[in-house]
């Protein structure tokens, strides 16, 4: 709790989605198709969301005395839906003000507060609600259809066979790849390399053909080269400008962390989340590779330059 411009502010945490979609109860048991859904508190819908009840209760208690609402969740579709659901279901509000920021730096948060939008970002809200509803309709109906079909065919009792809008096509692609791997038959090949020293450095030159599929051909080329001098026939030089690498998005960060340190995707995101919460990096769970000018690169570089290990690099 704090005060600003003479007005009391209370910041509360939504800990992700406090509301989730669930079927409207109409009887009929476990059947399909189902298209009528309603939003309910997450702890009432999913057992694994039981931890969210204490956050729900705190917000429900505090929101009764609120006269104004500011949504400061992540500025993406999920964050917008989280904020909107809290406002309409707990606060009874249809609109509110919206803060937008990319990092948790003090300067940007202050600027975000001072320049906040007077209304919610309804385009992102509608996009997020649509995705949730489509995911829910695909998931519940396909899961029930597959589960009941399996039960009828196999007569092995009731076992849920989960399916969804993203999960199902992904599983199909994995199946295709697995079948391709199983059908693959390895075939030996040979590569020829010339290793030489140039100005004291070892240089490797590859043969003009990437792979040789015939050992006899490889042996003949090797025999023809033995005892011969290598002759440089042509040298081409060119200058080019190389742009610095773009900031990591989620997928690239996970790939690089595994390649360099053998970190699992979950481990990488746990580390990144900790750095984000500490205000050291921008939001990690994003496909964006852009950083806004408002971050103020010059100020960051000057601050880094005050540290001995970075001063020379910064200069």
Q: Rounded distance, CA 9 to CA 20, Å?
A: 27
Strand partners, 288: none
Catalytic residue among 32, 283, 297, 310: 283
Using alpha carbons, select from 58, 57, 83, 52 the residue that is nearest to residue 69: 83
For the chain, the first-to-last Cα distance in angstroms comes to: 41
Q: Which residue in this structure is represented by tokens 């300067």?
A: 107
Comparing CA positions, the residue from 312, 243, 311, 256 lying closest to residue 284 is: 256
73, 74, 76, 80 alpha-carbon torsion, rounded to 10°: -10
Instruction: Return the H-helix or E-strand segment holding 253.
Output: helix 250-261
How does DSSP classify residue 263?
-
User: Is 283 tagged catalytic?
Assistant: yes
Angle at which helix 77-89 crosses helix 122-154, to 10 degrees, equals 90
Residues known to be catalytic: 283
């Amino acid at each position: 709790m704090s005060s600003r411009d003479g007005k009391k502010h209370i910041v509360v945490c939504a800990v992700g989605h406090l509301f989730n979609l669930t079927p409207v109860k109409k009887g009929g048991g476990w059947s399909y198709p189902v298209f009528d859904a309603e939003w309910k508190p997450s702890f009432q819908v999913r057992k694994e969301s039981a931890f969210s009840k204490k956050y729900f209760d705190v917000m429900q208690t505090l929101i009764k005395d609120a006269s104004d609402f500011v949504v400061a969740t992540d500025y993406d579709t999920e964050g917008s839906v989280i904020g909107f659901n809290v406002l309409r279901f707990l606060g009874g509000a249809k609109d509110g003000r919206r803060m937008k920021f990319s990092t948790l730096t003090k300067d940007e948060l202050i600027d975000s507060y001072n320049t906040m939008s007077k209304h919610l970002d309804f385009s992102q809200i509608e996009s997020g609600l649509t995705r949730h509803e489509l995911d829910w309709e695909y998931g519940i109906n396909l899961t029930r259809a597959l589960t009941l079909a399996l039960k009828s065919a196999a007569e092995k009792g009731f076992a849920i066979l989960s399916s969804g809008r993203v999960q199902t096509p992904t599983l199909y692609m994995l199946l295709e790849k697995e079948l391709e791997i199983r059908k693959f038959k390895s075939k030996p090949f040979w590569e020829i390399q010339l290793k030489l020293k140039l100005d004291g450095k070892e240089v490797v030159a590859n043969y003009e053909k990437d792979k040789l599929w015939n050992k006899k051909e490889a042996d003949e080329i090797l025999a023809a080269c033995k005892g011969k001098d290598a002759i440089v026939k042509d040298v081409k030089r060119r200058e080019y400008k190389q742009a610095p690498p773009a900031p990591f998005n989620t997928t690239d960060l996970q790939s690089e962390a595994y390649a360099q340190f053998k970190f699992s995707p979950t481990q990488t995101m746990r580390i990144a989340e900790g750095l984000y919460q500490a205000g050291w990096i921008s939001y990690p769970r994003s496909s964006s590779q852009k950083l806004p000018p408002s971050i103020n690169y010059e100020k960051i570089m000057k601050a880094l330059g005050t540290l001995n290990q970075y001063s020379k690099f910064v200069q």
